[in-house]
Structure 1
Amino acid sequence: MAYKKKLIEVALPLEVINDASAREKSIRQGHPSTLHLWWSRKPLAVCRAVLFASLVDDPSSHPEQFPDEKAQAQERQRLFAILGDLVKWENSGNEQVLEMARAEILKSTGGEPPPVYDPFCGGGSIPLEAQRLGLCARGSDLNPVAVLITKALIELPAKFAGRPPVNPAARGEIGQNNGWQGAAGLAADVRYYGRWLRDEAEKRLGRLYPKVTLPAAGGEGTVIAWLWVRTVKCPNPACGCDMPLASKFTLSAKKGREVWVEPQVDRAKGQVSFVVRTGPGQPPAGTVDRRGAKCICCGTPVPLDYIRELGQQGRIGGAVIAQVVAGKEGKMYVSPGENNEPMPTSDFLTDLAAARISGYFNPPNYGYASIGALYNPRQRYALATFAGLVKEAKAQCLQDGGDEEYAAAVATYLALAVGRLANRLSSFAIWNIHRETIEQTFSEQGVAMAWDYAEANPFSGSTGSWEGSLEWIPKCLELLPGEGYGTAEQKDAAAAWGDTGKWLISTDPPYYSSITYADFADFFYGVLRQALKEDYPELFATVATPKAAEIVAARHRFDGDRVRASEHFRGQLERAVKNIYAAMNDDYPATIYYAFKEQEVAEKDEGYYTAWESILGVLIGAGLQIVCTWPLRTERVSGRKTTKNALASSIVLVCRKRASDAPVATRREFVAAVKRGLPAALKGLAQSNIPPVDLAQAAIGPGMAIFSQYRQVYEADGEPMSVRTALQIVNQELDAYLAAQEGMLDEDTRFCLAWFEQFGLSEAPFGVADVLARAKNTSVERLVSDGVLAAAKGKVRLLKWEELADGWQPGYEGRITVWRFTQQITNALLGAGGEDAAARLVYFLGGARAEQAKALAYRLYAICERKGWSEAGLAYNSLVVSWPAIQQKVVNLAAKLSVQGELAF
């Protein structure tokens, strides 16, 4: 099949893309991810880079212009420079940068770029970036919440681009202001009607959120949050108090403003009250953890099973232990007061009350079995009021001159703001004692049981309030492209598509069992449905999000049967990938994002597929060839800031249709092809600075490219080779490649490597070390003198890199082994000197030895990974991840010292 290779099929500036992606994590104001929560969003920088590189030709596709490798490399660097500017968050709206990228796309596509389709659009990142690049963008998803978010990103801003606001406050500006560019006018109306909605809500709800009298300062203060603990009746008949279930009694852990609660126990009455303390003091320990609880009144141990049983009976209560109040000099903490205002009832989410929560939720174990149960009565009533007021705000917009479609658009963003509010207005939103803020209910991918929680005051103007929820939305709107064509629709990717088209497919399908999107989205669906079901009847036709067709291996939907769950996932994914195959444009590769964090291992006879086996098997079975894979990192871990081995969040599988005349191969032929092709690919990956933690996954790309180029690979018995077996062969060759690098090492380093693989950093008998040293043509005495080995009392062990001397100066030693050099660079990097100190060592010892150290770091990490020594592997992963920064500092140092004419350690 003849086609022009695209840039993504040959090379990518991974470090540049990954740095930009990691930086996005710290961008909040105006970032599309702040419009509304969605899980596992792909960074915009990654999506933009993947789309650009999927459309732009690699220079090797034009030998008439770039006849040799040097010319092709120069052209790639030019394209990389454009890509480097393109992925920066600051350039998201930079028309000069965007036009350069669009020009390259037009040049490579003959002026007719294909439309982009993401059939699993989720949070909308891929279609949004397609629209930003001037492409026709289409997204679809089975989940209605995902579709609504994507509409709000790509459909509504473009539909109302350049339109001035209709609110009365802005009318006086319309004649003077011709600057309502993009969605700025829509954003102004969202702000205005959002304030209107807030004022109306306060009229109806204000009595439920009274001010408090400040005991010391006097006067009244606005409550920011009520801090609650759950309570249960003590099982001890002689006690019977309402015992607080507090994970902690600390309210603020900020240095210099420590605040905590002191429980006051009246054993005679079996009652507990709470007093806020500030300043020096020792907060009491919490009364509940994962092992169980303890009654604060009588000391009786209470098992979690008892608490779960009471919870199932609806007998878990609650008590306010403190109030956070807005003071003149910041937040104040006061002891709980009395609020005798009766709590009104609400029918909020009664249509979901009977539907049990499922998936990665722990609260149902304690009786919180429905969405409505996740809120206390005041929260339920408040959210019902806010959601109902969205319709009234829409009516007000119509009255002020907006048409039906425009008013519905304003209502859409207001409803998303209510969804944002719900995320911090549940009884599972905890108080962050370090930042003194309310955490989201979904602070992780799931909802854990919260023994203590913070109830926000939606009218405080502070953390968890309506203002805090609303303002993110217009800020996001103002920075969206607001032009071009974009559409989002609800669609089952596994059902017949009808319009096959000729699309550039780029998508992020569900991750096996990692995230059950439908279960999570139900949390927001009820609020959004109450506000918008008349405007989007097709999206909100059901009382909960669709689950039966969702492509996820959710065991709880199959009575805990993981085999049936796995079969469902694979079957649905097969149908979706067949649709992708039929719809993809043959001139462009499809790009499929996939997470590989799952470490599930299954025996072949267990009857189910692992995540990787499923996705690769389905792609290859549908007739796709995996051309290459690119690991994409969303967190940068470097230097002494490293605390864990951070896996790349996902990789991109670059796929083409397999040639119809593709050959078949035997197992022997496949293994031989892997032995021929994999080493060169692995060398290229190492040169591009793939972190060791990602290397095994990155190796899947070239390995599966070889496997999937065949129509079929046959075992010796004539049976087709499974994907699982092919992956095992690729991993074996990866190990063999890393082991082969040992032949280039000095004899002392080979000893240390063999010792490390067998004993790690533990002690072993001197005699064993002596035998191994002789076999490696060295001696224990020499290794001790080299400063890599410790020997005492008949025992020998490798020195840890932390034990090596800081400020090591290699000029005073006769011989320096690769092992010593690697450990010293690691010590410099992760010690006080950081990257600067590491760079000085690399500069002094030269590039060739430095590359040996980097190669050894790969090998050491692989050993640690295989042995399960995650902590020991941290340092070596960090060394490789930091390598580009070290290299740059080496260049800077060389330039500086060439001027000085000296090297000063």
Structure 2
Amino acid sequence: MTKRKLIEVALPLEAINKESAREKSIRHGHPSTLHLWWARRPLAAARAVLFAQLVDDPSSRPEEFPTEEAQRAERERLHGIIERLVVWENVRDEKLLAEAHAEIVKSAPKDDDGNPVLPKILDPFAGGGTIPLEAQRLGLEAHASDLNPVAVLINKALIEIPPKFAGMKPVHRDDKGGLLADDRAFWKGAEGLAADVRAYGQWMRDEAEKRIGHLYPRATLPDGSKATVIAWIWARTVTCPNPACGIEMPLVRSWWLGKKKGKEAYVVPTVVADPSHKSGRRVEFTIGHDVAHAPTRDGDGTMHGRTGGVCVSCSTAVSTEYIRDHGRQGKVGQTLMATVAEGNRQRVYLAPTAEHIRAADVSKPTEVPSGEVATNPRWFSPPAYGLTQFADLFTNRQLTALTTFSDLVAEARDRVLDDAAATGMPNGAPLADGGTNAQAYADAVATYLACVIGRLTDYMSSLTTWASNPQMEILRNLFARQAIPMAWDYAEGNPFADKSGSVAKMVEAVAKPLEYIPASPSGTANQADAAARSFANLVVSTDPPYYDNIGYSDLSDFFYVWLRRSLRPVLPGLFSTMLVPKAEELVANPYRHDGKAGAERFFEDGFRDVFAHARGSASSSYPMTVYYAFKQSETDGAGEASTGWETLLEGMIRGGWEITSTWPLRSERGGRMISVGTNALASSIVLSLRPRPASSSTTDRRGFIAALEAELPDALRKLQQGAIAPVDLPQAAIGPGMAVFSRFAGVLEPDGSKMTVRSALARINEILDQVLSDQEGDYKPDTRFAITWYRLHGYEPGKSGEAENVATARAVVLSDLARSGILTHRGGIVQLISPSDLTGDYDPATDHHISVWEVLQHLIQVLERDGIAPVGDLLRAALDRPAADIDADEVKELAHLLFRIAEANGWTKDALSFNTLVTSWPEIVDVARQAPALAPSTQGAFSFDSED
């Protein structure tokens, strides 16, 4: 019998989303710092999804959990594990991870001898490696594949290489040639490997400084002392088109350098006479600090977006096309505007000097990476300005530094090999051939050092800019978004400065994650086309590319050309091509597939092929999980709204899959309520799917709707019990609805045609509204009246005659409702009392006319005024009444219902209040559970398990 997994029933979604959002601010030890990749899935989400995908839902084990109450209590226990698992600080909690692994083992199928057969996890679109890494963290064998060699390299560095050398001591020597001074007896996981990456990375830095350090001179401060330069700020220049001017005009986005209060700094351009220039004049730059004369806004430079720029001397407008033409002819120059030096706990901004201008005037190295930048203007603007080769994206000094560091990777590898041999380690086979001894270890360290070079390129190009915001004044990396944009004023960092963008920072960013990754069990990462690789005996969890959101192959060429220069001898199979393979990449690129229509056909056909191929050997014991990156609605040929979401569902169903759940994932807390009143989807969605049996029958529209009406109420109740946010409920409810739709071979419309996904989604939403409305019948008459009146008027006034009719239909009296504190009734006007109108001295123990409606309003009022703890105390007091008039679940379900009403009417403030209460519910209940102890009858209202 197929057992339903936890992900197919309920998830603690708010906890997952909360930690996924918080993770974005974490860098210390996070694997994302090892090497840049675009649109990584949060570790917290991947860890939670994998656990829920592999663990049985209690309803599938009725012999252990025979009642709904017992199942709910067990489900809450499993949710508690997830809520702890997703917290970043727990990623190295071995006891917790062992507890989670034990649950996976308990749910695993058994072999003929009764032993559990643990699942092996595959991500065929592995990208940045989040899913395979989290599978490994849960104690499972992980398999990753991707067509992109940069992605494969990242996955090798995360899941394949560390287990080969887990527990190994570092091999590097101290300054006297002896063994490492920190020669402790036990090195956990990949800590020894991390120590060697740091040591040989430091050696590379020091050796490079000996060779090219003179290209990065120190700055002279106003007091005559010397200071290390952090960066040089340059501006590109073109000749002013005004014949009467002809100056070399700087192209500058912003004159600002630093905006910290009291320490403001900005560039001041001044036109001065200079006979050595063709025009007889030039622009001289000094540093200003007087706020009264500072630029009025951040973009107040000479460049005005896409419209072009203006000459700083004569104010002549300069078109974008004029600048592009200069670029294509190689006539764009550059001029130094400022030097940023290290000061006493602050940046010191200095005017340009001849010494620093000369230091940057170096010849281009003879051997630089070759390769053309893609010309898709959506992602790549530099080619339009003549920067067509990857080498064009760097200054000559940067090319000199990067080629020097690249060459040193090979030299560092030789040193590692000698040091490893000196410890007695056998030579063995290279890493590419599966070796685990000295040669392979030297290759492994070289691989991580090459990642250091990859990270450096993100901070060491002529497209890197300077951040002048008050929080930090640092180099801003090139890939702030998923594109290579043009930069007019750029910051050239000092790789030896030990500040942002330096070698030291990059080495630590690569080494630190190695201390946080599990380094066991074994993992494999291979370059493979997802449509051709084997899925046999593997459980799939994957985050495939979506349409044309990101041009992975074109973007990753930026890193590939440098990684290939360092690692082709180490991983020859992975770096055999000049650039990243592109023809089979599953991205809807109109520049590669004959326009938009051809690109969409290519993507949709390829997507279906992959998942139809996976369907042929899919595991029957576990669902597959697929992440979907939301793409907004578009318009089809008939002028009707269509979405990629529908296309995805249609492709899955046609590929033979049954969709068993859909869960909205959010990692942007700031815009959490943007969906209120707009029906916007989450930033991404994860689906669980199972193979649809070949024997599945068809049904008609009536049969489909009957099945929805029978199954959605119970599924909705489980979703609400899982503390799902009201804003996410409609999207999550699609899961059980699509589970009904996709289990049939087809749903036939009255005309004999098959029902489309779009039509099915409309029916699901109709039933969802009906189910939520039916929940009104669970409430007592006073609350039912308030719900109906809120639907009609919100918290605004209405006429008492209309209110009398509504009250009569629900067998309540308006004067009683007024005395009970639900509404006011005076002068022929009836108005619900809103949370903001409440006094704040409410005591449920003395309320003789208490209602679920009234308790909800007071909870919202206290939450918005005082926070979680007082709300928990208030909820406890309401539940602790001797008659147990109030049920906690009813309060939460009422908030769900009212959110739906508020959202439909565009009452955003109300919707936010209801949503916030539900998302805070787990914490509120935790407080309510605390002393004073609850009476046994009240525990039933909470649905507490006897073990709580």
CA pair 886-80 structure 1, distance change in 2 beyond 3 A: closer
Provide the rounded CA distance (Å) in 1 between the counterparts of 2:375 and 2:754.
44
Aligned to 1:248: 254
Provide the rounded CA distance (Å) in 2 between the counterparts of 1:771 and 1:351.
81
Aligned to 1:521: 556
Identity rate of aligned residues, in percent?
Answer: 44
1:687 aligned partner, one-letter code:
Q
| Aligned with residue 344 of structure 1, among 339, 353, 363 | 363
CA pair 692-104 structure 1, distance change in 2 beyond 3 A: closer
- Identify which range, 445-454 or 413-422, moves more after superposition: 445-454
| Aligned with residue 350 of structure 2, among 312, 334, 339 | 334
Aligned to 1:899: none
The answer to whether the Cα contact below 8 Å between 2:227 and 2:342 also exists between their aligned partners in 1 is: yes
Cα deviation for residue 531 of structure 1 reads 0.7
CA pair 740-515 structure 1, distance change in 2 beyond 3 A: farther
Aligned to 2:937: none
Whether 1:663 aligns to 2:682 is no
- Identify which range, 875-884 or 436-445, moves more after superposition: 875-884
Cα deviation for residue 291 of structure 1 reads 6.0
The answer to whether the Cα contact below 8 Å between 2:636 and 2:642 also exists between their aligned partners in 1 is: no
Cα deviation for residue 63 of structure 1 reads 2.7
1:418 aligned partner, one-letter code:
I
Residues 362-391 of structure 1 show CA distances to partners (whole Å, capped at 9, x for unaligned) of 444444444333323322332222222212
Provide the rounded CA distance (Å) in 2 between the counterparts of 1:235 and 1:798.
69
CA pair 120-845 structure 1, distance change in 2 beyond 3 A: same
- Identify which range, 239-248 or 407-416, moves more after superposition: 239-248
Aligned to 2:648: 615
1:143 aligned partner, one-letter code:
N
Whether 1:190 aligns to 2:197 is yes
The answer to whether the Cα contact below 8 Å between 1:566 and 1:609 also exists between their aligned partners in 2 is: no
Cα deviation for residue 884 of structure 1 reads 3.4
Residues 773-800 of structure 1 show CA distances to partners (whole Å, capped at 9, x for unaligned) of 898679x9x99xx9999x9xxxx99999
CA pair 854-163 structure 1, distance change in 2 beyond 3 A: closer
Aligned to 1:232: 238
| Aligned with residue 565 of structure 1, among 599, 615, 621 | 599
Cα deviation for residue 407 of structure 1 reads 1.3
CA pair 599-176 structure 1, distance change in 2 beyond 3 A: closer
CA pair 199-607 structure 1, distance change in 2 beyond 3 A: farther
CA pair 855-60 structure 1, distance change in 2 beyond 3 A: closer
1:456 aligned partner, one-letter code:
G
Query: For 1:351, what is the secondary structure of its paired residue?
Result: coil
Aligned to 1:577: 611
Provide the rounded CA distance (Å) in 2 between the counterparts of 1:234 and 1:747.
74
Cα deviation for residue 30 of structure 1 reads 1.7
| Aligned with residue 150 of structure 1, among 128, 135, 155 | 155
Provide the rounded CA distance (Å) in 2 between the counterparts of 1:741 and 1:368.
63
Aligned to 1:882: 920
Cα deviation for residue 260 of structure 1 reads 2.3
Provide the rounded CA distance (Å) in 1 between the counterparts of 2:133 and 2:522.
10
- Identify which range, 399-408 or 419-428, moves more after superposition: 399-408
Whether 1:508 aligns to 2:543 is yes
Provide the rounded CA distance (Å) in 2 between the counterparts of 1:238 and 1:838.
73
Whether 1:384 aligns to 2:403 is yes
Is there any run of 5+ residues in structure 1 with no aligned partner, and where?
A: 897-905
The answer to whether the Cα contact below 8 Å between 1:349 and 1:526 also exists between their aligned partners in 2 is: no
1:467 aligned partner, one-letter code:
A
1:154 aligned partner, one-letter code:
I
Whether 1:398 aligns to 2:433 is no
Provide the rounded CA distance (Å) in 2 between the counterparts of 1:120 and 1:14.
24
1:30 aligned partner, one-letter code:
G
Residues 269-312 of structure 1 show CA distances to partners (whole Å, capped at 9, x for unaligned) of 55332222236434214123436333332334444444444444
Alignment of 1:210-289 (within 5 A): 210-215=217-222, 217-266=223-272, 271-278=282-289, 280-285=291-296, 286-287=300-301, 288-289=303-304
Aligned to 1:903: none
1:113 aligned partner, one-letter code:
L
The answer to whether the Cα contact below 8 Å between 1:221 and 1:326 also exists between their aligned partners in 2 is: yes
Q: How many residues align?
A: 877
Aligned to 2:314: 298
Cα deviation for residue 143 of structure 1 reads 0.8
Provide the rounded CA distance (Å) in 2 between the counterparts of 1:359 and 1:43.
26
Cα deviation for residue 520 of structure 1 reads 2.1
Aligned to 1:687: 721
Provide the rounded CA distance (Å) in 2 between the counterparts of 1:348 and 1:827.
68
Provide the rounded CA distance (Å) in 1 between the counterparts of 2:663 and 2:915.
18
Aligned to 2:430: none
Provide the rounded CA distance (Å) in 2 between the counterparts of 1:352 and 1:410.
27
- Identify which range, 236-245 or 884-893, moves more after superposition: 884-893
Aligned to 2:665: 632
Whether 1:717 aligns to 2:751 is yes
Cα deviation for residue 556 of structure 1 reads 3.2
| Aligned with residue 489 of structure 1, among 526, 530, 534 | 526
Residues 568-612 of structure 1 show CA distances to partners (whole Å, capped at 9, x for unaligned) of 11111111112222232211211212223x212333647997321
Aligned to 1:443: 480
CA pair 513-84 structure 1, distance change in 2 beyond 3 A: same
- Identify which range, 83-92 or 143-152, moves more after superposition: 83-92
Provide the rounded CA distance (Å) in 1 between the counterparts of 2:592 and 2:617.
31
The answer to whether the Cα contact below 8 Å between 2:27 and 2:33 also exists between their aligned partners in 1 is: yes
Query: For 1:353, what is the secondary structure of its paired residue?
Result: coil
CA pair 379-799 structure 1, distance change in 2 beyond 3 A: farther
Cα deviation for residue 715 of structure 1 reads 1.7
| Aligned with residue 141 of structure 2, among 116, 136, 148 | 136
Provide the rounded CA distance (Å) in 1 between the counterparts of 2:403 and 2:245.
39
Aligned to 2:588: 553
Alignment of 1:698-709 (within 5 A): 698-709=732-743
Cα deviation for residue 145 of structure 1 reads 0.5
1:542 aligned partner, one-letter code:
T
The answer to whether the Cα contact below 8 Å between 1:357 and 1:370 also exists between their aligned partners in 2 is: no
The answer to whether the Cα contact below 8 Å between 2:663 and 2:731 also exists between their aligned partners in 1 is: no
CA pair 84-393 structure 1, distance change in 2 beyond 3 A: same
Provide the rounded CA distance (Å) in 2 between the counterparts of 1:209 and 1:643.
53
Query: For 1:112, what is the secondary structure of its paired residue?
Result: coil
- Identify which range, 817-826 or 431-440, moves more after superposition: 817-826
Cα deviation for residue 465 of structure 1 reads 0.3
Cα deviation for residue 148 of structure 1 reads 0.3
Provide the rounded CA distance (Å) in 1 between the counterparts of 2:838 and 2:247.
58
| Aligned with residue 626 of structure 2, among 592, 596, 608 | 592
CA pair 315-829 structure 1, distance change in 2 beyond 3 A: farther
The answer to whether the Cα contact below 8 Å between 2:150 and 2:560 also exists between their aligned partners in 1 is: yes
The answer to whether the Cα contact below 8 Å between 1:631 and 1:648 also exists between their aligned partners in 2 is: yes
Is there any run of 5+ residues in structure 2 with no aligned partner, and where?
A: 111-115, 274-278, 422-437, 809-813, 880-884, 935-948
Aligned to 1:429: 464
Query: For 2:144, what is the secondary structure of its paired residue?
Result: strand
2:653 aligned partner, one-letter code:
I
CA pair 386-243 structure 1, distance change in 2 beyond 3 A: same
Query: For 1:654, what is the secondary structure of its paired residue?
Result: strand
- Identify which range, 73-82 or 441-450, moves more after superposition: 73-82
Cα deviation for residue 117 of structure 1 reads 1.4
- Identify which range, 330-339 or 418-427, moves more after superposition: 330-339
CA pair 736-72 structure 1, distance change in 2 beyond 3 A: closer
The answer to whether the Cα contact below 8 Å between 1:359 and 1:556 also exists between their aligned partners in 2 is: no
Residues 478-537 of structure 1 show CA distances to partners (whole Å, capped at 9, x for unaligned) of 222223211100000012x2x442111111111222222212212211111111112222
Cα deviation for residue 323 of structure 1 reads 1.6
Taking structure 1 as the reference length, the TM-score comes to 0.86
Residues 816-838 of structure 1 show CA distances to partners (whole Å, capped at 9, x for unaligned) of 9999997886676566x454576
Aligned to 2:428: none
